[in-house]
């Protein structure tokens, strides 16, 4: 099966600019996650979708981050405006359902803020 | 609040030696524990989960609720085991994972 697809692989922007990341989960996977991985740390959950609804966004900095999964398949994560501390790898993961299936990760988007 | 601690940032052992990657967690309920691995230039992937009680690539991990630990072990390390290893926890009604900071395992020839 095709894995989780993410684009772009790399992005460099200046602080205060906007950026968007795209994720296409494995076909048929209802649950989609976005994680932020800062250098030297483990991934940190930002938001979880079940189909097109948000299940958990408690750790999403909502003043600057937003995410959507309008048709319950692809998802976009946006940062506006970006800060220096947003430099990280943004990982997308999907699973067949919420709890009993493993999460499959994409390659991530590496974001650098200048 | 739930937390996962991996005390070693880097662990270097010789090929054929035993390996133990430490993981301790903090969680008040009954957690699910996982080990994820990331080989060089590859994506993060699940290695094993405690509820499966299986051995993958010779690795095993036992959940010790008394010591709140989930250490990863392998009796004889191989060079292809060199990678980043992350311990992760899922607890309560949440589905998202809480990860440790990871341990970089280097197997020397």
Contact A42 B88 (CB under 8 A): yes
The pLDDT score that the predictor gives to residue A1 is 63
CB contact under 8 A, A42 and B96: no
Q: Please report the pLDDT score of residue A77 as a whole number.
A: 98
Encode pLDDT of A27-53 as tens digits: 999 999 999 999 999 999 999 999 989
pLDDT per residue rounded down to tens, chain A (114 residues): 679 999 999 999 999 999 999 999 999 999 999 999 999 999 999 999 999 899 999 999 999 999 999 888 999 999 999 999 999 999 999 999 767 788 999 999 999 999
What is the 8-class DSSP label of residue B56?
B
Compute CA distances A52 → A8, A21, A65, A69, A72, whole Å. 22, 17, 17, 5, 4
d(CA B17, CA B79): 11
- Quote the tokens at residue A49: 């979708």
Q: Do B101 and A42 touch (CB under 8 A)?
A: yes
Two tokens at A47?
């938001």
Percent of chain B whose pLDDT exceeds 90: 76
**Closest residue by Cα to residue A23 from A46, A6, A37, A36:** A6
Mark which residues 35-54 of B lie under 8 Å from A by CB.
43-46, 49
Which one of A1, A3, A43 would you mutate to disrupt binding with B, by most B Cβ within 10 Å of its Cβ?
A43
d(CA B86, CA A8): 25
Contact assignment for B95 to A48 by CB distance below 8 Å: yes
Pick from B36, B44, B47, B98 the residue to mutate for testing the A interface (most A CBs within 10 Å). B44
| Cross-chain residue pair A43–B46, CB shorter than 8 Å | no
Tell me what pLDDT residue A2 has.
78
| A24 to A31, A76, A94, B95: CA distances (angstroms) | 12, 9, 9, 19
Q: Would you place residue B71 in the very low, low, confident or very high pLDDT band (cuts 50, 70, 90)? A: very high
Q: What is the reported pLDDT for B56?
A: 87
CA distance B11 to chain A (A): 15
Q: What's the pLDDT band for B29 if we cut at 50, 70, 90?
A: confident
By the 8 A CB rule, do B91 and B25 touch?
Answer: no
pLDDT digits (tens, 9 = 90+) for B34-61: 999 999 999 999 999 988 878 889 999 9
- Whole-angstrom distance, CA of residue B109 vs CA of residue B102: 22
Question: Is the pLDDT assigned to residue B92 strictly greater than 90?
Answer: no
CA distance A25 to A2: 9
Contacts of B74 (CB under 8 A, 6+ apart): B18, B19, B57, B58, B59, B60, B81
């Amino acid at each position: 099966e095709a894995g989780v697809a993410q684009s772009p692989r790399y992005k460099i922007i200046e602080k205060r600019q906007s950026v968007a990341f795209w994720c296409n989960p494995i076909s048929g996977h209802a649950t989609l996650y976005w994680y932020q991985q800062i250098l030297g740390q483990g991934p940190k959950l930002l938001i979880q979708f079940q189909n097109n609804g948000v299940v958990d966004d408690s750790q999403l900095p909502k003043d600057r981050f937003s995410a959507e999964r309008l048709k319950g398949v692809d998802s976009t994560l946006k940062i506006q405006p970006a800060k220096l501390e947003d430099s990280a790898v943004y990982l997308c993961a999907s699973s067949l359902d919420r709890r009993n299936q493993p999460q499959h990760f994409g390659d991530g988007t590496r974001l650098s803020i200048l | 609040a739930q937390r996962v601690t991996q005390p070693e940032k880097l662990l270097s052992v010789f090929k054929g030696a035993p390996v133990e990657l430490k993981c301790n967690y903090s969680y008040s309920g009954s957690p699910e524990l996982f080990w994820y691995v990331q080989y060089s230039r590859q994506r993060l992937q699940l290695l094993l989960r405690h509820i499966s009680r299986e051995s993958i690539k010779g690795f095993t991990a036992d959940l010790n609720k008394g010591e709140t630990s989930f250490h990863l072990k392998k009796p004889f390390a191989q060079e292809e085991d060199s990678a980043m290893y992350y311990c992760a926890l899922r607890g309560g009604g949440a589905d998202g994972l809480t990860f440790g900071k990871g341990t970089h395992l280097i197997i020397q020839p």
